[in-house]
């Protein structure tokens, strides 16, 4: 137990440090009343397009955070919050969700210090959470085995909050650079970077669904859907990210956009399937308090929706900014 | 409408008037094809457990007309099973029997069931394959008797049964030749299983998740396991893939008739030395069902009892008994355990009782001073059983028993399923006393041999080390338990040394078959039900092949008997 407490303290310190650094970082340009005169001259397309993309990304990050909030609440409650650090993802995802809502409503073309800080915190939580989950799996008898991958702490789960943080952070960068000639993230073209991050996220999330659906022996043929559609979507997104930015003809990506809408819908329909899965446990929905814990996780599928929304935001930006 | 009068499945037959209970819906029914007693059906099957239930399904699916009778009730687990150990003793075969010998068997809960579905209704679901060499243990390993069946053929039938029961098992099995992936994934280990795993890792032997006949994901109307551990008292969720919820519904759908509360008292033999049907007791009186073939599948005590009770002037020693082996070579399996206390809470009763296993000593022959092998598994005794164990095996009573019971949540145990050797002196005979139907009751005589004892000693020493290595304290051994019943009508290649051939057909009477645990020449160190079901699947295939070649007409392919009964199998 003392071992676990050490972990907890260490993690808590690390998180506060990261958050503090992010928030204290000087940000002159985000002062509440910037004089229009100080704006750099417009060289690229209208900044509104970037802000729109940024808000879409906030929404996507919020979607993921909501999924994490619900999922980790249920799963960590199931684990009786045995380790105190298990409340962290709840708090962080709730904060990320609130910040994302704020960002979605915010039309101003510059990053927000608090949002930035909370997104970094989310990303760090994801990384540290993954560490916790790896530790949980490997310390069990049998170590890195199918048994522990199936039933130990899910290795992929904390990645969702990491992705939420990354997307949110990208969103702030897009806003921040909306008046530049091209929106960018650390100097990389924003739209294509976000598309690639989202594609990687889709692959990871699909891998997680694959592992858990394999645990369920793919007993229902529809369980194959989240392991086939998202990887195709990821391939399309990677393809979009790799396209020649100057080729006007290929910037619209209608198929990729349609595929993202398909994945967004899949995430929502997945809740329905999982609800059906819950009903197939002893006592069905009448026994909801047990079966929500025993059955497939209701909040898991919408993480695909969150990623698909991020993909759409990236594609939208790509269409409007040839160079993004 | 008159059938609604009483719905006590132990008092009034349920499967009558063209319908049978729907095990998946409380109060539900499914249609059932019915036969009249005077119409000879292709197959009458006595017993609907692992052997009879499986065979009834397969034969019906192959187009034969089938009536399967069981002395026990037809339960709907969802509504008839209580989470109460005492109530659930209704699943056991507790009719009068006499048990003697140097090591008399304790009959009832741990070895025989009486219900549609047989002992599988309250079995522990452990579903293991034989080690291939065991099918030729005399030739390859120097003990016991050879089976007349090749292991490679059995490997395919094992696969068929594993698929039919959606066995949940590990991704890779550490022992024996390659096997296909189990259809469902292994269940999560409970703390008791992790104790076994720790012990194995400390002693450097492999362990794995036990392949179990209980669902780790939904299947049709059957729910996945809820890990409440009532398995050996009957599973009320239908997660357990017993014959009652797997083979029997399939059999009904394929046109078989099941008759519950129908006790077969005698098999009729005609003047041509062929069987012509069975006398059975149902609804307060005796009936006679005509049949072209009779299959006996009443398990290793009731099967020989019925054959012996069916003696006639021409078959004075009972049916199918020219070898004199009916009732002989009864084999139980050693079921000794080592128990200890862990510092952490274990709550071993959470989940199916045997979630982890090591078959190390089934496959490792070095370092043994005995023939045969054993597997050992983690344990999860329910409270009443545990109190009984403490009272009987340790003589605790009163305040000491109560005190010891307060440690219940910290108990962890390891228990073997060990091979016992076939001995002719271990046997089922008829006593002079009669039961409630007026039938002579069986006398079951059992004595261990030296090899049995050496195996047990080896296992107890090894498991003690394993439990110590896992951190248990106050370790003690329970050294008198046994489980499972096999033998008493062994199969073989030689009519003088066996009762049935490889196809479960009796050597003496070509339309009399035996298809259950009785046909085992040896038991191996694994639980028997998967092998019984695999044998039944094979038997069905063989019967279909023989029917197609016209060899079921009361005549062996190589025999000299005159045909007396034609089989109308359509397939
Ligand atoms: C508590 C317990 C746990 C077990 N755990 C396991 C396990 O984990 N794994 C495993 O492989 N095996 C296990 N077994 C053993 C397994 O259940 C049996 O080996 C198997 O069911 C035997 O199959 P059978 O067809 O020979 O007989 P049964 O399944 O016992 O079926 C025989 C049926 O015949 C009926 N019958 C008998 N005589 C007559 C008659 N004269 N007329 C009408 N009906 C009759 C009986 O009512 C019974 O329903 C367990 C058994 C018990 C009791
Ligand atoms: S633990 Fe699983 S298999 Fe056993 S009785 Fe409960 S639901 Fe059935």
Q: Where are the domains of chain A?
A: 46-320
Give the residue, out of B228, B245, B382, with the most ligand 2 atoms within 8 A of its beta carbon, to mutate for a pocket test: B228
The tokens 């009864």 sit on which residue?
A: B330
For the record, the structure tokens of B491 come out as 């199969």
Residue A244: per-residue pLDDT? 73
Cα B400 from Cα B390, distance rounded (Å): 10
Q: Tell me which residues of chain A, numbers 50 to 109, contact chain B at a CB-CB cutoff of 8 Å.
A: none
Residue A168 — very low, low, confident or very high, per pLDDT cuts 50/70/90? very high
Question: pLDDT at residue B298 above 90?
Answer: yes
Cα B567 from Cα A74, distance rounded (Å): 61
Question: pLDDT at residue A18 above 60?
Answer: no
| Residues of A in Cβ contact (< 8 Å) with B239 | 282
DSSP B247: H
- Backbone Cα Rg of chain B: 23
Residue A1 — very low, low, confident or very high, per pLDDT cuts 50/70/90? very low
DSSP letter for each residue of A51-64: HHHHHHHHHHHHHH
Distances (CA, A) of B480 to B93, B333, B336, B395: 21, 11, 6, 13
Q: Is A280 within 8 Å of B223 when comparing Cβ atoms?
A: yes
Q: How does pLDDT run across B405-415, given as a tens digit for each residue?
A: 999 999 999 99
Considering only residues B426 and B568, tell me which one the structure prediction assigns the higher pLDDT: B426
Of A142, A220, A282, the CB nearest to B237: A282
B248 ligand 1 Cβ < 6 A: no
| Residues of B in Cβ contact (< 8 Å) with A147 | 170, 186, 188-189, 209
CB B339 within 8 A of CB B478: yes
In degrees and rounded to multiples of 5, residue A21 shows phi and psi of -55, -45
Residue A177 — very low, low, confident or very high, per pLDDT cuts 50/70/90? confident
Q: How does pLDDT run across B514-550, given as a tens digit for each residue?
A: 999 999 999 999 999 999 999 999 999 999 999 999 9
Question: pLDDT at residue B560 above 50?
Answer: no
- Backbone Cα Rg of chain A: 20
Residue B110: per-residue pLDDT? 77
- In chain B, which residue's Cα lies nearest the Cα of A279? B223
> Is B171 in the A-facing interface, judged by CB distances under 8 Å?
yes
Cα B195 from Cα B413, distance rounded (Å): 8
DSSP B170: -
Pick from A15-19, A173-177, A201-205: least confident: A15-19
CB atoms within 10 A of CB B69: 28
| Residues of A in Cβ contact (< 8 Å) with B194 | 140-141
Pocket of ligand 2 (CB under 6 A): B 214, 225-231, 235, 237, 239-240, 351-352
Of B185, B197, B219, the CB nearest to A142: B197
> Is B170 in the A-facing interface, judged by CB distances under 8 Å?
yes
Question: pLDDT at residue A240 above 80?
Answer: yes
Question: pLDDT at residue B473 above 50?
Answer: yes
The tokens 């507790």 sit on which residue?
A: B94
Residue A19: per-residue pLDDT? 39
- In chain B, which residue's Cα lies nearest the Cα of A214? B185
> Is A217 in the B-facing interface, judged by CB distances under 8 Å?
yes
The tokens 């109530």 sit on which residue?
A: B87
Considering only residues B266 and A31, tell me which one the structure prediction assigns the higher pLDDT: B266
Strand-strand pairing, B66-69 and B98-100? unpaired
Pick from A53-57, A119-123, A242-246, B514-518: least confident: A242-246
Q: How does pLDDT run across B39-76, given as a tens digit for each residue?
A: 999 999 999 999 999 999 999 999 999 999 999 999 99
Q: Is A281 within 8 Å of B223 when comparing Cβ atoms?
A: yes
Cα B386 from Cα A43, distance rounded (Å): 81
Distance of CA B532 to the CA centre of its chain: 7
Region B484-494: what's the mean pLDDT? 97
DSSP letter for each residue of B319-372: TT-TTS-TT-S-EEEE--EEEEE-SS---TTSS-S--EEE-HHHH--TT-SSSS
What percentage of residues in chain A have a pLDDT greater than 70?
83
Cα A57 from Cα A77, distance rounded (Å): 29
CB B256 within 8 A of CB B67: yes
| Residues of B in Cβ contact (< 8 Å) with A217 | 166, 168, 183-185, 216-217
CB B363 within 8 A of CB B131: yes
User: From the candidates B184, B197, B224, which should be mutated to test the interface with A, based on the most A CB atoms within 10 A?
Assistant: B224
B114 ligand 1 Cβ < 6 A: yes
Residue A245: per-residue pLDDT? 67
Ligand 2 centre distance from Cα of residue B248 (Å): 19
Pick the atom of ligand 1 nearest to B526's CA.
11
> Is B201 in the A-facing interface, judged by CB distances under 8 Å?
yes
Region B468-485: what's the mean pLDDT? 95
| Residues of B in Cβ contact (< 8 Å) with A214 | 185
Question: pLDDT at residue A31 above 70?
Answer: no
Question: pLDDT at residue B199 above 70?
Answer: yes
For the record, the structure tokens of A116 come out as 């930035």
Residue A44: per-residue pLDDT? 55
Residue B480 — very low, low, confident or very high, per pLDDT cuts 50/70/90? confident
DSSP A87: G
Average pLDDT, chain A: 85
Residue A24: per-residue pLDDT? 37
B232 ligand 1 Cβ < 6 A: yes
Region B162-166: what's the mean pLDDT? 98
Residue B145 — very low, low, confident or very high, per pLDDT cuts 50/70/90? very high
> Is B183 in the A-facing interface, judged by CB distances under 8 Å?
yes
For the record, the structure tokens of B74 come out as 């037809």
Give the residue, out of B91, B167, B240, B246, with the most ligand 2 atoms within 8 A of its beta carbon, to mutate for a pocket test: B240
Pick from A44-48, A316-320, B297-301, B563-567: least confident: B563-567
Residue B6: per-residue pLDDT? 66
| Residues of B in Cβ contact (< 8 Å) with A281 | 218, 223-224, 226
Q: How does pLDDT run across B5-32, given as a tens digit for each residue?
A: 568 999 999 999 999 999 999 999 999 9
**SS3 of B428, please?**
strand
Tell me the sheet residues that pair with B286.
B281
Question: pLDDT at residue A248 above 70?
Answer: no
Structural domains present in chain B: 19-569 (3.50.50.60)
DSSP letter for each residue of B104-159: ----STTT-B-STTGGGGSS--B--PPPGGGGBIIIIISSS-B-SS-HHHHHHHHH
CB A163 within 8 A of CB A203: no
Pick the atom of ligand 2 nearest to B226's CA.
7
Residue A183 — very low, low, confident or very high, per pLDDT cuts 50/70/90? confident
Q: How does pLDDT run across A85-100, given as a tens digit for each residue?
A: 999 999 999 999 999 9
Region B195-200: what's the mean pLDDT? 98
Q: How does pLDDT run across B346-394, given as a tens digit for each residue?
A: 999 999 999 999 999 999 999 999 999 999 999 999 999 999 999 999 9
Cα B412 from Cα B407, distance rounded (Å): 10
Distances (CA, A) of B208 to B19, B118, B170, B360, B470: 43, 28, 7, 10, 16
Question: pLDDT at residue B202 above 50?
Answer: yes
CB A304 within 8 A of CB A267: yes
> Is A282 in the B-facing interface, judged by CB distances under 8 Å?
yes
Region B487-493: what's the mean pLDDT? 97
Cα B340 from Cα B320, distance rounded (Å): 48
Average pLDDT, chain B: 94
Region B234-253: what's the mean pLDDT? 97
> Is A150 in the B-facing interface, judged by CB distances under 8 Å?
yes
Question: pLDDT at residue A32 above 50?
Answer: no
């Amino acid at each position: 137990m003392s071992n676990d407490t050490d972990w907890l303290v260490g993690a808590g310190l690390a998180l506060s440090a990261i958050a503090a650094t992010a928030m204290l970082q000087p940000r002159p340009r985000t002062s509440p009343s910037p004089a229009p005169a100080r704006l750099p001259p417009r060289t690229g397309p209208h900044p509104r397009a970037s802000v729109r993309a940024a808000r879409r990304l906030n929404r996507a990050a919020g979607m993921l955070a909501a999924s994490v909030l619900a999922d980790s609440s249920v799963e960590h409650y199931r684990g009786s919050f045995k380790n105190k650090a298990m409340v962290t993802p709840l708090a962080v995802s709730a904060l990320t969700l609130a910040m994302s809502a704020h960002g979605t409503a915010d039309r101003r073309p510059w990053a927000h210090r608090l949002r930035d800080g909370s997104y970094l915190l989310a990303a760090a939580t994801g990384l540290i959470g993954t560490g916790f989950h790896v530790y949980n799996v490997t310390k069990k008898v049998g170590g890195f085995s199918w048994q522990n991958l199936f039933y130990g702490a899910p290795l992929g789960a904390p990645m969702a909050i990491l992705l939420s943080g990354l997307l949110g952070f990208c969103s702030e960068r897009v806003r921040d650079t909306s008046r530049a000639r091209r929106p960018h993230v650390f100097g990389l073209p924003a739209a294509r970077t976000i598309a690639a991050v989202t594609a990687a996220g889709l692959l990871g999330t699909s891998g997680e669904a694959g592992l858990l659906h394999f645990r369920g022996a793919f007993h229902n043929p529809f369980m194959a859907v989240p392991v086939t559609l998202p990887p195709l979507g990821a391939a399309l997104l990677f393809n979009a990210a790799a396209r020649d930015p100057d080729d006007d003809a290929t910037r619209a990506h209608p198929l990729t956009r349609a595929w993202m809408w398909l994945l967004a819908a899949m995430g929502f329909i997945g809740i329905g399937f999982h609800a059906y899965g819950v009903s197939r446990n002893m006592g069905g929905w009448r026994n909801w308090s047990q079966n929500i814990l025993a059955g497939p996780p209701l909040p898991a599928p919408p993480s695909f929706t969150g990623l698909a929304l991020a993909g759409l935001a990236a594609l939208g930006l790509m269409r409007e900014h040839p160079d993004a | 409408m008159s059938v609604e009068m009483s719905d006590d499945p132990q008092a009034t037959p349920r499967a009558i008037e063209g319908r049978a209970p729907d095990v998946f819906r409380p109060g539900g029914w499914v249609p059932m094809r019915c036969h009249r007693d005077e119409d000879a059906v292709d197959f009458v099957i006595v017993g609907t457990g692992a052997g009879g239930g499986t065979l009834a399904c397969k034969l019906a699916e192959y187009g034969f007309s089938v009536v399967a009778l069981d002395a026990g009730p037809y339960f709907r687990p969802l509504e008839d099973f209580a989470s109460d150990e005492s109530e659930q003793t209704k699943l056991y075969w507790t009719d009068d029997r006499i048990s003697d010998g140097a090591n008399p068997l304790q009959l009832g809960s741990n070895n025989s069931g009486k219900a549609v579905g047989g002992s599988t209704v309250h079995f522990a679901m452990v579903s293991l394959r034989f080690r291939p060499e065991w099918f030729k243990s005399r030739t390859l390993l120097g003990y016991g008797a050879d089976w007349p069946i090749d292991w490679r053929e059995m490997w395919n039938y094992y696969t068929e049964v594993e698929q039919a029961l959606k066995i949940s098992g590990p991704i890779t099995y550490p022992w024996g030749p390659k096997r296909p992936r189990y259809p469902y994934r292994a269940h999560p280990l409970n703390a008791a299983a992790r104790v076994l795993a720790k012990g194995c890792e400390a002693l450097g032997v492999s362990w794995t998740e036990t392949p179990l006949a209980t669902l780790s994901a939904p299947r049709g109307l059957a729910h996945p396991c809820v890990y409440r551990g009532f398995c050996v008292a009957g599973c009320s969720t239908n997660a357990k893939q017993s014959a009652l919820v797997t083979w029997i519904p399939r059999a009904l759908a394929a046109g078989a008739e099941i008759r519950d509360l129908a006790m077969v008292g005698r098999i009729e033999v005609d003047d041509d030395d062929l069987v012509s049907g069975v006398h059975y007791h149902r609804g307060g009186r005796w009936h006679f069902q005509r049949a072209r073939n009779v299959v006996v599948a009443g398990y290793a005590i009731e099967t020989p009892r019925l054959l012996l009770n069916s003696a006639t002037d021409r078959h004075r020693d009972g049916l199918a008994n020219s070898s004199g082996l009916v009732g002989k070579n009864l084999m139980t399996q050693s079921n000794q355990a080592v128990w200890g206390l862990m510092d952490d809470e274990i709550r071993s009763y959470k989940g199916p009782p045997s979630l982890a296993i090591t078959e190390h000593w089934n496959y490792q022959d070095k370092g043994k001073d005995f023939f045969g092998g054993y597997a050992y598994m983690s344990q999860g005794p329910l409270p009443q059983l545990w109190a009984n164990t403490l009272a009987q095996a340790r003589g605790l009573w009163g305040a000491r028993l109560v005190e010891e019971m307060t440690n219940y949540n910290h108990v962890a145990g390891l228990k073997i399923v060990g091979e016992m050797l076939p001995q002719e002196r271990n046997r089922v005979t008829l006593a002079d006393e009669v039961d409630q139907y007026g039938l002579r009751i069986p006398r079951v005589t059992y004595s261990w041999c030296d090899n049995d004892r050496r195996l047990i000693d080896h296992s107890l020493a090894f498991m003690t080390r394993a439990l110590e290595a896992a951190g248990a304290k106050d370790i003690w051994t329970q050294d008198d338990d046994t489980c499972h019943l096999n033998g008493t009508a062994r199969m073989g290649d030689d009519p003088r040394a066996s009762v049935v051939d490889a196809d479960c057909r009796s050597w003496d009477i070509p339309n009399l078959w035996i298809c259950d645990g009785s046909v085992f020449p040896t038991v191996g160190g694994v639980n028997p039900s998967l092998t019984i079901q695999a044998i039944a699947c094979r038997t069905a295939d063989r019967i279909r092949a023989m029917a197609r070649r016209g060899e079921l007409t009361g005549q062996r392919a190589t025999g000299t008997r005159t045909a007396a009964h034609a089989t109308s199998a359509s397939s």
